[in-house]
């Protein structure tokens, strides 16, 4: 079974953005690895009611992330331990070296990350650049030749990506309707972020009803997919 690696900036990126896809991959027998650059310790949210202080927030968010990974079926969590809100001033090549070593050890078929600049937040854009550099170097190795790179997309359209002079190989829509309860459990593991979407804290039924049935990705590197409904050729 294939391995898929997601490379993100903060605890909760994995769940909020593509938790359904990660759960679907994991629960259909694939190995899912998450690389998280920071502990999100500079985040303003401490939960409602507050369950963390400025001092404890990093430690608590790490615990939340581990619980979310368990809910999603993520088998390995690799923390890069970089300081929150500083990713754009980190030495890109050195951090990319570290990500590359993880890729070489895991030999993934697919890598997911943020697009720069469409990822929005400066940390998202920076980890996206880092992961893209690591992926390019991995792709040049024999193990990485068949691997694909995907950027998370906040909607169906590939049009926004086409503005950036990159070939859009596929606009992928993953049906995650069968994995909303796993995603909801992961959401609720991130208790410090509870004010983001209050509806998720009511009944399970209301929580899952509010979630979209699809998650979107843009493939820009690697062999063309047979079907744009999965990150892997099944």
| 13 lies in the binding site for Zn ion (CB under 5 A) | yes
- DSSP state, 5? E
2-10, 160-168, 189-197, 205-213 -> range binding Zn ion (CB under 5 A): 2-10
| 61 lies in the binding site for Zn ion (CB under 5 A) | no
Task: Give 30 or 45: the residue with its C-beta nearer to Zn ion.
Answer: 45
**CA 103, CA 5: separation in Å to the nearest integer?**
8
As measured in angstroms, the least distance from the Cβ of 113 to Zn ion is 12
Which residues contact residue 135 at a Cβ distance below 8 angstroms, ignoring those fewer than 6 apart?
103, 111, 113, 144, 147, 149, 221
- Output the six-digit token pair for 9: 């900036």
As measured in angstroms, the least distance from the Cβ of 37 to Zn ion is 9
With tokens 């310790």, the residue in question is 41
Buried b (16+ CB within 10 A) or exposed e, 46-64: bbeeeebeeeebbebbbbb
The site for Zn ion, by CB under 5 A, has a size of 3
Task: Give 65 or 170: the residue with its C-beta nearer to Zn ion.
Answer: 65
With tokens 């898929």, the residue in question is 4
| 10 lies in the binding site for Zn ion (CB under 5 A) | yes
**CA 2, CA 26: separation in Å to the nearest integer?**
10
As measured in angstroms, the least distance from the Cβ of 120 to Zn ion is 9
As measured in angstroms, the least distance from the Cβ of 127 to Zn ion is 9
**CA 205, CA 180: separation in Å to the nearest integer?**
10
Task: Give 111 or 125: the residue with its C-beta nearer to Zn ion.
Answer: 125
Task: Give 7 or 170: the residue with its C-beta nearer to Zn ion.
Answer: 7
In 88-161, DSSP assigns E strands to 110-113, 148-153
As measured in angstroms, the least distance from the Cβ of 126 to Zn ion is 11
Task: Give 6 or 169: the residue with its C-beta nearer to Zn ion.
Answer: 6
Task: Give 11 or 222: the residue with its C-beta nearer to Zn ion.
Answer: 11
| 115 lies in the binding site for Zn ion (CB under 5 A) | no
12-20, 91-99, 144-152, 173-181 -> range binding Zn ion (CB under 5 A): 12-20
- Output the six-digit token pair for 95: 């951090």
With tokens 């991995």, the residue in question is 138
Q: Which residues bind Zn ion (CB under 5 A)?
A: 9-10, 13
């Amino acid at each position: 079974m294939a391995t898929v690696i997601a490379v993100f900036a903060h605890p909760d990126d994995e769940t909020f953005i593509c938790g359904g896809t990660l759960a679907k991959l994991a629960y259909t027998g694939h190995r899912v690895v998450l690389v998280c650059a920071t502990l999100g310790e500079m985040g303003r949210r401490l939960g409602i009611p507050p369950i963390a202080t400025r001092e404890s927030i990093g430690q608590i968010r790490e615990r939340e992330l581990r619980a979310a990974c368990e809910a999603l079926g993520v088998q390995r969590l690799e923390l890069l331990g970089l300081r929150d809100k500083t990713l754009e001033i980190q030495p890109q090549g050195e951090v990319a070296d570290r990500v590359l070593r993880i890729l070489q050890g895991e030999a993934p078929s697919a890598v997911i990350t943020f697009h720069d600049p469409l990822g929005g937040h400066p940390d998202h854009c920076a980890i996206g650049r880092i992961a893209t550099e690591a992926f390019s170097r991995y792709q040049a190795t024999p193990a990485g030749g068949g691997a694909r790179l995907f950027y998370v997309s906040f909607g169906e359209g590939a049009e926004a990506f086409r503005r950036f002079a990159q070939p859009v190989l596929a606009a992928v829509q993953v049906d995650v309707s069968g994995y909303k309860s796993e995603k909801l459990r992961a959401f609720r593991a991130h208790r410090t972020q509870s004010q983001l979407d209050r509806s998720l804290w009511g009944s399970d039924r209301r929580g899952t009803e509010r979630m979209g049935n699809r998650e979107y990705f843009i493939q820009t590197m690697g062999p063309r997919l047979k079907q744009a409904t999965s990150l892997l050729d099944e």
